[in-house]
Amino acid sequence: MALRLLLQLALLGLGTTRPLVRGRSFGAPAVAWPSFFDLNSPLGVHETTQIPSNGSAPLRVDVQVFVTNVFNVDILRYTVSSMLLLRLSWLDTRLAWNASVHPRRALTLPWDSLWTPELTIQEALWVDWQDQTPQAQVDQDGRVELYLALTTETNCDFELLHFPRDQSNCTLSFYALSNTVMELEFQAHVVNEIVSVKREYVVGDLKTQVPPQQLVPCFQVKLHLQNTALKAILALLVPGEALLLADMCGGLLPLQAPERMAYKVTLLLGYLVFHSSLVQVLPSSSSCNPLLIHYFTIQLLLLFVSTVETVLLAGLLARGHLRAKRSPGPAPRGEQQAHEEAGPNPEEAPRGAGSRRSWAEAADHTFFLLYVAGVVCSQFIFIGLWMWATCKSDPAPGEAVPHGGQPRP
């Protein structure tokens, strides 16, 4: 049991503890304690910084989580930045007073003069508690209410297979490390208070849960994030498709025209620049990478094949011309003359290259048809993959090893 707790603490090592470490000296109260508290009673000031007991049952702390902003989602670093307001409330009967003697309805006390749960966020890279010295409200029955506002950046395993239409669930796990489940339990609710809608990622759904079978009291807030996709469509899909379409149209230029080679090579160069910037925009992970990465790689291959085809056929044609010039044979000459008489463009074909030219043009035409079919097919195959492909991320190493999962005695 103790070993398990140690391991759990080690796992939580990354989380940021609350900066407000309870460093109060246990001497005379440093704060102006209300005069009607009996400092000589056995439940003196020292005692009020201990957790209130609830007999054999754990103390119940009600938590309301107001999510006020999710202002940055960084898919390259796998982090989410959010602003939360926590409203914690619990009953501490030691702080109750007799209303007929002291007719006050509520008191404001500094947070470090009474027991408060210390919260640690497991996934946090950093936590900024906005009020370093929060005040607690206590009413005459001893019900304590404490508000904590925080900004935090947390780690989240985005599911990016369907980027830019990706949806992910991000979890924030709050642990009260200085208490055990025998002393304390959380009851959590979450309220969506996000007022801004102008976001690349929108928060679709919010949930809280209290994970069962923990050694340390814990509650979790789950954010469901959806990508609005507009930026990625404008920056990635539109230029990619435009380049592919332009390349297909390039097949309509005549094979002998010198512009065709220049056109294709320029497109390939343009695509290579686009591809290298794309690689920096898309994240890569050990599992479930975006399908779009494969899509753009296939597009690059298609463009490459079409450029190589143009170069090869144009090269063959040029060689044919040269050979025909060097060794003018009688048979080709006759054929060529016949061709020149029939052909509308006499300057296009030097003698001897007629059959070769028609052969090359036929091959080019066939390739063009195949290429168009290939491009259309690749689009449909990709749409099919997009609809049906699912990916299940590998379990995290902490869940896969034997000490993870359920605690064992």
Sign of the Cα pseudo-torsion (319, 323, 326, 329, in order): negative
Residue with tokens 């379990």: 395
Q: Which residue is nearest to ligand NAG (CB)?
A: 57
Q: Which is nearer to ligand NAG, 143 or 323 (CB)?
A: 143
Binding region for ligand NAG (CB under 6 A) out of 34-42, 55-63, 211-219, 324-332: 55-63
**213 near ligand NAG (CB under 6 A):** no
Q: How far is the CB of 207 from ligand NAG (least distance, A)?
A: 6
CB nearer ligand NAG, residue 28 or residue 101: 101
Q: Which contacts qualify for 322-326: CB closer than 8 Å, 24 or more apart?
A: 323/352, 324/350, 324/351, 324/352, 324/353, 324/356, 325/350, 325/352
Binding test (CB under 6 A) with ligand NAG, winner from 47, 128, 205, 348: 205
Q: With respect to ligand NAG, which residue has the nearer C-beta, 53 or 135?
A: 53
Q: Whole-number minimum distance, CB 85 to ligand NAG, in Å?
A: 22
Whether the Cβ atoms of residue 91 and residue 142 lie closer than 8 Å to each other: yes
Binding mask 220-259 for ligand NAG (x = CB under 6 A): ----x-----------------------------------
- Minimal CA–CA distance to 271: which of 230, 306, 249, 299? 299
DSSP codes joined into one string, 93-143? GGG---TTTS--SEEEEEGGGS----EEETTEEEEEES-SS-EEEEETT-E
Neighbouring C-beta atoms of residue 367, cutoff 10 Å: 18
Candidates 112, 153, 159, 247: give the one binding ligand NAG (CB under 6 A): 159
Alpha carbons within 13 A on the beta-carbon side of 74: 11
Where in 93-152 is the site for ligand NAG (CB under 6 A)? 98, 100-101
Nearer to ligand NAG, 380 or 388 (CB): 388
Q: By C-beta, is 169 or 192 nearer to ligand NAG?
A: 169
Q: Which string of b and e fits 179-202 if b means at least 16 CB within 10 Å?
A: bebebbbbebebeeebeeeebebb
Q: How long is the chain?
A: 409
Minimum CB distance to ligand NAG, residue 113 (Å) = 19
Neighbours of 296 (CB within 10 A): 20
By CB under 6 A, residue 54 contacts ligand NAG:
yes
Q: Which H helix or E strand runs over 86?
A: strand 79-91
According to the binding rule CB under 6 A, does residue 59 interact with ligand NAG? yes
Choice from 45, 70, 91, 349 touching ligand NAG (CB under 6 A): 91
Q: Between 64 and 169, whose beta carbon lies closer to ligand NAG?
A: 169
Task: Provide, rounded to whole angstroms, the least separation between the CB of residue 263 and ligand NAG.
Answer: 44
Nearer to ligand NAG, 92 or 364 (CB): 92
Q: How far apart are CA 165 and CA 162, in angstroms?
A: 5
> Is residue 209 involved in binding ligand NAG (CB under 6 A)?
no
Cis ω before 164 (30° cut-off from 0): yes
Size of the site for ligand NAG (CB under 6 A): 13
Q: Name the site residues for ligand NAG (rule: CB under 6 A).
A: 54, 57, 59-60, 91, 98, 100-101, 159, 169, 205, 207, 224
